[in-house]
Amino acid sequence: MSNEINTDVLIAGLGAAAYSAALYCKRYQIDTVIVGEEFGGETAIGGLIENYPGQPDIDGFDLMMKFKEQVDNLNTETFDSNLKSVEKISDESFRSTLNSGEIFLSKSVILAMGRERRKLGLDNEEEWMGKGVSYCSTCDAPLYKNKESVAVIGGGNAAVEGAILLSKYAKKVYLVYRGIKFFRPEPILLEILNNSENITILLETEVNSLLGDEKGLTGIEINNNINQKKHISLDGIFVEIGADPRLEIPNQLGLEINSDTGEVHVDKHQTTSETGIYAAGDLTDGTDLKQTITAASQGAIAALSAYQNVLNSKVKK
């Protein structure tokens, strides 16, 4: 087809794993295209990062801008659209189609699309997004400066961190979690949480419904472990209940999925069950440590594997 664009490697994603992969692919001097819509992935919305080597106390968005600038400086071609489909058309070639219509033929594909934030699945949740319902504490916390009360839903590290951040803006913060104790938050965060005077912790508590009107959310109905229902008036809620790997493309390709984690299974070379398809970052079961530094590392490893695959295909010709 005349409108197909040929490249050696197509990289899907715009987060740490994807940009790292693109950087290494360009340095290997192979034709590289990077595609995606959500700039920066989890890192960009992660707020202040204090554990990235060489970059103490840097905002996640700023760190990802540095990743992007380094890749852009190598004249990497970028398309602002997500993958619609990937199909294997020969032993050494894949056809990738974007939502925007562009079609690419490549010898290797690196999947680094990360995860998608989980939702509560309650009525009006999507309707009130941006009208009192948020999925990113670090993004939207400043909007609630001097507001009376907000709630964070969740019990992991992100939820605890979000509640602490919001306590600096809103007058009162509820941290609502259905479990009997929080799910492995960093000890230092737990200490800060327990010393925060304007955070109320509600364990063994479920959110039954979202309350509101035509303007948006006005509160929630909760139910505790002894089946007591209660309405809480709120200016906003922040849903921090984790994220799921984006598996639409991996499932199209029939890639092996880790049955325990629901992540794309990769080996130490970031190779998937399909030759020529590699995966990196939060999408994979490569490590339990989901951090910017591990995503970047996996992206670099995936790039080397993709490069070697490209070389092998050229040798065969």
pLDDT at 168: 96
Q: Which residue in the list 8, 136, 235, 282 is annotated as catalytic?
A: 136
pLDDT in tens, 50-101: 889 999 889 889 999 999 999 999 999 999 999 999 999 998 899 999 999 9
Query: Which residues, in sequence order, are CB contacts of 154 under 8 Å at separation 6+?
Result: 162, 176, 177, 239, 240, 241, 242
4-117+244-316 and 133-239 have identical folds:
yes
Q: Does residue 315 register a pLDDT over 70?
A: no
Q: Which residue in the list 31, 59, 62, 139 is annotated as catalytic?
A: 139
Residue 140 designated active-site: yes
Q: Does residue 174 register a pLDDT over 90?
A: yes
Mean pLDDT to the nearest integer, 131-151: 91
Among 222, 236, 241, which residue's Cα sits nearest to residue 170? 236
- Architecture per CATH, domain 4-117+244-316, reads as 3-Layer(bba) Sandwich (3.50)
Q: Does residue 2 register a pLDDT over 70?
A: no
CB 5 within 8 A of CB 104: yes
Mean pLDDT to the nearest integer, 165-171: 96
Mean pLDDT to the nearest integer, 3-22: 96
pLDDT at 317: 59
Say how many Å lie between the first and final Cα of the chain, rounded. 21
d(CA 24, CA 16): 12
What CATH code is assigned to 133-239? Answer: 3.50.50.60
Q: Does residue 47 register a pLDDT over 80?
A: no
pTM: 0.81
Model confidence band, residue 272 (pLDDT cutoffs 50, 70, 90): very high
Domain boundaries, the chain: 4-117+244-316, 133-239
Among 211, 248, 43, which residue's Cα sits nearest to residue 131? 211
Q: Does residue 233 register a pLDDT over 70?
A: yes
Model confidence band, residue 308 (pLDDT cutoffs 50, 70, 90): very high
Q: Which residue in the list 8, 25, 140, 235 is annotated as catalytic?
A: 140
Residue 8 designated active-site: no
Residue 136 designated active-site: yes
